[in-house]
Amino acid sequence: MYLDFYGLKEPPFNITPNPRYLFYSGKHREALNHLLYGIRERKGFVQITGEVGSGKTTLCRALLDQLGNNYSTALILNPALSPDLLVKAIGAEFGLDVRGLDRLEMMEQINWYLLKQMEEGRESVLIIDEAQNLTNELLEQVRMLSNLETDDWKLLQIVLMGQPELRDRLNDPALRQLRQRITVRYHLEPLKQHEVSQYVRHRLQVSGGGAKSLPAFTFPAMWRIFSYTKGIPRLVNALCDKCLLAGFVQQSERITYGVVGRAVRELEGQINA
């Protein structure tokens, strides 16, 4: 609705993960480097945590783009499964036909696949998003997968991505064997105030707006956006989308403090406030 008015080619603040829109704040760059280091150096396990909406899933997509064709990857987005179904989902993600097999047979198939990838000079990576939803039994199953190895190195690199609760889960004494294997950890912090301004401009530019046609967010407007969102990218997206809509309705080329206030009220359902 507001794209033509603001000279944009596509909505700049969609909340769906898109690595093309990834803004490399200092923290996001560090998180990606931790991921690449852990995988390329065959550390076995990498743990990335962050608040809801902090950009973990988008970071994951960017990681997949960075790894390229020398890596075979399996991405599990919803790990709240039984142990059998989790192993089945992992096998299917690697392109294996595991229908009708029991868990032991599926593990044998995965092990055979990983060995074949190694022989062909390819690394294998398993990424589990929303890993805080894994039960102790499922986490133990993931640890068992990490036992697939040769005399020289691990056949499978495993990335656990989740909310801060994942750190608490892994402090359970029952999971100490798994915790001891995680040698690369990083917690993704929210954006700082100056980074929120950079983030907003970055997304506007990626969406196709030329420098002269970008809607102008005033300094007070950006302060209010940061104050409301606390630097969480998903909330910034939701609020800025409402800001552009509110600005369009008012036919305002500038997004002001007042426009942001109206957008906040709309987000909170106070349309007539």
Q: Do 83 and 182 lie in a common domain?
A: yes
Q: What is the CATH number of the domain that holds 138?
A: 3.40.50.300
273 lies in a domain?
A: no
In a domain, 261, yes or no: yes
3-state secondary structure 217-242: ECHHHHHHHHHHHCCCHHHHHHHHHH
Read off the pLDDT of residues 197-236 as tens digits, 9 standing for 90 and up: 999 999 998 888 655 556 789 999 999 999 999 999 999 9
Q: Give residue 213's pLDDT.
A: 57
Terminal CA-CA length for the chain = 23
What SS3 class is residue 87?
A: helix
- Residue 65, domain extent: 26-188
Give me the residue label for tokens 């988008």. Answer: 58
Residue 181 falls inside a structural domain = yes
Same domain, 184 and 202: no
Higher pLDDT, 253 or 35: 35
41 and 149 together in one domain: yes
Asked whether residue 18 is domain-assigned, the answer is no
Output the six-digit token pair for 75.
Answer: 């991405």
Number of independent structural domains in the chain: 2
180 and 203 belong to one structural domain: no
- Predicted confidence at residue 201, as pLDDT, reads 92
What mean pLDDT is predicted for residues 231-242? 95
Q: Which of 143, 151, 149 is nearest to 123 (CA)?
A: 149
Q: What is the pTM of this model?
A: 0.87
User: Does residue 152 form part of some domain?
Assistant: yes
Kindly report the CATH number assigned to the domain that includes residue 205.
1.10.8
In terms of domains, do 44 and 116 share one? yes
Tell me whether residue 21 is in a domain.
no
Counting beta carbons within 10 angstroms of the beta carbon of residue 11, is it exposed (0 to 12), middle (13 to 18) or buried (19 or more)?
Answer: middle
Residue for token pair 């192993």: 87
Domain C-terminal end among 157, 188, 219: 188
Q: Please check whether residues 112 and 196 belong to one and the same domain.
A: no
Q: Which domain-ending residue is among 160, 188, 216? A: 188
**Domain end among 139, 169, 188:** 188
In this structure, the answer to whether residues 132 and 65 fall within a common structural domain is yes
Q: Give me the pLDDT at residue 273, please.
A: 39
- Measured CA to CA, the distance from residue 167 to residue 170 in angstroms comes to 5
